[in-house]
Copies of this chain bind each other. A is one copy, B any other.
Amino acid sequence: MRKHPQTHETHMNIENAQVQMRKGILEFCILHVISRGEVYASDMLDELTSARIMVVEGTLYPLLTRLKNAGLLDYKWVESSSGPPRKYYVLTDDGKQFLTAMQETWLDLADSVQTIIRKTNDAIQTQKTS
């Protein structure tokens, strides 16, 4: 059964654009937070929220599972004095290496976007003075 005609219906609003922009960067940010020392999911949620990077459970848990399966993370169960046990995560050696590579990617990307923005500003200046 064929799908709808190719309407490309979208939710092209700024909220959705923000969601799209965050994609892929979450992974980087989470590795960063874990790199500082053992943390469990709620710690990460707090950390990221305080840095204004919105992330929810339904995103975080599958992501942690993927990173664990990829060998970038390891965890141990730790009893809590007030509730169920928690999974405390740490980076593996592969994870540390991966984080370094991602940081380079991020810095390159941020630089590239800065280049785009600057070129636009240059173009506007040229228009004004001509």
Contacts and interface: CB of A to CB of B under 8 A. Distances in A.
Instruction: Decide if the interface of chain A is mainly helix, strand, loop or mixed.
Output: helix
Interface string A5-25: 111111010100111111111
Contacts of A115: 51
A10 B62 CA distance: 11
A37 B126 CA distance: 12
Given A72-B12, A112-B52, A120 B32 contact: yes
Given A32-B117, A112-B53, A116-B51, A17 B27 contact: yes
Interface string A72-83: 100000000000
For the complex formed by this chain, how many copies does it contain in all?
2
Contact of A12 (B9, B70, B112, B116): B70
Contacts of A33: 116, 120
27 contacts: A5-B65, A7-B69, A10-B70, A12-B69, A12-B98, A17-B24, A17-B28, A20-B24, A21-B23, A21-B25, A21-B28, A21-B109, A24-B24, A25-B113, A28-B113, A29-B113, A32-B116, A32-B120, A36-B119, A36-B120, A36-B123, A37-B123, A51-B112, A51-B115, A51-B119, A52-B112, A110-B110
